[in-house]
Amino acid sequence: MSKLILSLDGGGIRGAATTQFLTHVEKALQEKHQKSLRDCVDFYAGTSTGSLIALALATTDMGIQDINKLYSYANAKKIFIENRGAFELDGINAPKYEAKGKTDILKKSLGQAKIKDVPEGKHILAITYGVEKHRPHVIKSTRSEFHNLLSYQVADASSAGPTYFPTQVMNLPPDNEQTWLIDGGVVANNPTMCAIAEACRLWPDANRRVLSIGTGTQTRKINGPDSRSWGALQWMLKGCIIDVLSDEKVVAYQAITITPLGNYIRVNAEMRTQPGLDKAPDDAMDDISQTNIKRLKGMGDFWYSQYGEAVVELLNDSYNGPSLDRIDATTGQPIQYKPG
């Protein structure tokens, strides 16, 4: 018995690269193996923008092409509505964006779907973080008390990035208490290890395959010497502290190390010009310009050119190649994992 985990990172608008890549994968699966992406995935996991994609795939009947269309300039303008309150410095003493636009788009897209709507035998998890009790919340279909939570509300909480969007409130089991939640990226922007832990518990004897998809690795430089004198404000403004806290590389290392060789593919790349990617997108989570969204989808195209064949075969359980890591920016090709 073999089980496939699909894990999707957070990254705001950079999720456009993820959905573009998966659109290519779905088309190839249908053409080569007469299968859909949903046919192949046993466990979905997502954080922030990745939770939206994972929940849409797991709990609704939205096609991947329609999910991809969510990452459009028109939708982005509705989601990233600047907070213009009096005496507020957006992102400093108030969230940079209002909550309403994001909530409305999520509710319209995911509707009344609930965690329990995942197909029988398959599972979903999404990660958020409770600020009052300083604890992560892994909302998952393997626990019956989460079954009646609305998917759009879970995605809204999982994507409430500090300094970007307001904290979200949900009544969470087992006590149905009011809980104030922020983006799960502060503890697990890459949710792969959470998914592996759940899969090991659910299917201890199963062969485990993992497809983990990032949203691009940030490359902007932080001034090391200057950082010695920074306080909280400087770390937020100059040090991109939220991005530092949500870095995914440690989890990617852990996941590729513990997954059997040839059973793991990590789709990701640095967001800079490299062989095969002539026009790199901006690495900001909220650069919603038409040009940047186009470049993000171009990065998804680039990923498919490098990973596509291997990913399709991994999903079909017919892959015989090595484990693959992120793309090496000097060659423009995925790094082949070699233990040791």
51 is catalytic: no
Q: Which of 9, 42, 48, 156 is catalytic?
A: 48
The dihedrals phi and psi of 82, each to the nearest 5 degrees, come to -65, 140
CA distances (Å), 222 to each of 57, 117, 228, 234, 240, in order? 36, 43, 11, 11, 8
323 is catalytic: no
Burial of 305 by CB count in 10 Å (0-12 exposed, 13-18 middle, 19+ buried)?
middle
Q: Which of 9, 42, 156, 183 is catalytic?
A: 183
3-class secondary structure for 6-35?
EEECCCHHHHHHHHHHHHHHHHHHHHHHCC
Closest CA to 325 of 337, 311, 313: 337
Burial of 315 by CB count in 10 Å (0-12 exposed, 13-18 middle, 19+ buried)?
buried
Closest CA to 37 of 45, 47, 26, 28: 26
**Close Cβ partners of 292 (under 8 Å, ≥ 6 residues apart):** 13, 281, 282
Side chain identity, residue 101: G
Number of neighbours of residue 32 by Cβ within 10 angstroms: 13
Q: Give, to the nearest 10 degrees, the angle between helix 15-33 and helix 49-59.
A: 30
Active site residues: 48, 183
